[in-house]
Amino acid sequence: MLDWAKIETVLLDMDGTLLDKYYDDYFWERYIPEIYAKQNGLNTVEAGKKLLAIYKAKEGTLDWTDLDYWSDQLALNIPALKIKVSHLIKIHPYVVDFLEFLSQSSKRVYLVTNAHSKTLDIKMKKTSLNGYFDRIICAAEVGKPKEDTSFWPGLKKIINFSRETTMLAEDTEKILQSAQAYGIKHLIYVARPSSRKAIKKSSHFTSIIYFNELI
């Protein structure tokens, strides 16, 4: 599927790509609505609908993943609540095998995520994956979310990579389209970001279910 001799740099997303997105889906779609409902005198269904509209208004922006922003907006301690359900954070099958393969192949490996630094800290403490990366870059450091095509030249200023010899793995097609527009050559779509949802392959990008398919 990939000619590894032609790849020098590997960019990896975190949520849904390396980690099971069920944790995030559960947290925002079930756990927070339950707490928000109790706090605001709503039933869970009403709270869920209200929150969904609030979330959607910030999709594709840095606020979307900013825990401090959501703590202020919802009057909840979002980082503390995330820790309470952190037992649900799981690494996808074969991710560690893939990271070991990249290490043995002497590739430059970067975790590149839209996630907030506090989310990153919780997940790295839980998974201990941070040692596999040459560097971890949150989108806030670049100043743009990955969906924005200007993210990639901003990232290049930080880690300097060649578009021709770089691979990006993502579970969001919009981000892969953004990277493609910038010229990143090797693009991989993760077709099962959540273990609780059906596999949905991309019609535009090479799709995998698990990373063992790339080894």
- Paired sense of beta strands 206-208 and 108-113, if any: unpaired
Domain carrying residue 47: 23-87
Domain count, the chain: 2
Q: 187's torsion region: left (phi>0), alpha (psi -120 to 50) or beta?
A: beta
Same domain? 158 vs 203: yes
| pLDDT value for 111 | 98
- Spatial separation of the C-alpha atoms in residues 196 and 80, rounded to whole Å: 24
pTM for this predicted structure: 0.96
Q: Are 72 and 135 in the same domain?
A: no
Residues of the chain with pLDDT under 50: none
Q: Are residues 105 and 63 in the same domain?
A: no
pLDDT in tens, 23-82: 999 999 999 999 999 999 999 999 999 999 999 999 989 999 999 999 999 999 999 999
Residues 97 and 198 in one domain: yes
CA nearest neighbour of 84 among 133, 35, 49, 117: 35
Q: Residues 118-121: contacts with CB within 8 Å, 24+ apart?
A: 118/67, 118/68, 118/79, 118/82, 119/65, 119/67, 119/79, 119/82, 120/14
The separation between the first and the last C-alpha atoms of the chain, rounded to the nearest angstrom, is 9
Residues 36 and 120 grouped into a single domain = no
Amino acid at 150: S
Looking at residue 1, its pLDDT comes to: 74
* Residues 101 and 186 reside in one and the same domain: yes
Q: Examine the domain organization and report whether 80 and 96 are in the same domain.
A: no
Arithmetic mean of pLDDT over the chain: 97
Looking at the fold, whether 198 and 122 belong to one and the same domain comes out as yes
pLDDT at residue number 89: 98
Both 162 and 179 in a single domain?
yes
